[in-house]
Amino acid sequence: MRRPFRYLFLALLACTIVVIDQATKLSIMQAMRLDESIPIIPNLFSLTYIRNPGAAFGLLAGSSNAFRMVFFGVTSLFALALLGTILFRLPEKDWMGQLSVAGILGGAIGNLIDRLQYGEVIDFLDVYVDSYHWPAFNVADSAISVGVVFLIIHFAFEKKDVPLLPHELPPAS
């Protein structure tokens, strides 16, 4: 497949994730009050509108607004640059790697938009068993998580031609 089409397709995937992420967050903000929870599957899954000022699992949530904005701004830009570099350096035939990175990129952009717009991330997917809750998350978080899992699996099972060490080379005839 030609490079321009490939990059267009990957950009479309990332943009689709961003659009779905932002549309679902907007819908939740319009339809629910902050901290409101609507059970969907009792004792398992609810829609719960919360705002997370911190990182994953609420890390750094207690830090000052200024610190969080600078920290998350710098780390987000670094992460986006790193993901873009990885995406462009992956071999053209490595579709699994490219799709995974595009998904991570779309999720990272979706959460960055929240941070720039609201100073925090909108979360609403609440998975739990009785009173044991997984931290609430959103579509962007899901795309990042799925992309990372697929990337790990992909790299773990990727077959590479590893050059032989000098002592493993067959004797010269």
Q: Which are the catalytic amino acids?
A: 123, 141
Measure the CA dihedral 144/115/20/128, to 10°: 60
Cross-strand pairs, 129: 132
Could you tell me where the DSSP H helices lie in the chain?
3-31, 65-89, 95-118, 139-157
User: What's the token pair of residue 108?
Assistant: 């990272």
Of 119, 111, 123, 122, the residue nearest 76 (C-alpha): 111
Beta carbons of 138 and 21 less than 8 angstroms apart: yes
Alpha-carbon dihedral of residues 89, 95, 99, 101, nearest 10 degrees? -20
Please give the Cα distance from 168 to 119 (Å, whole number).
Answer: 56
Beta bridge partners of 2: none
**What's the gap between Cα 43 and its chain centre?**
26
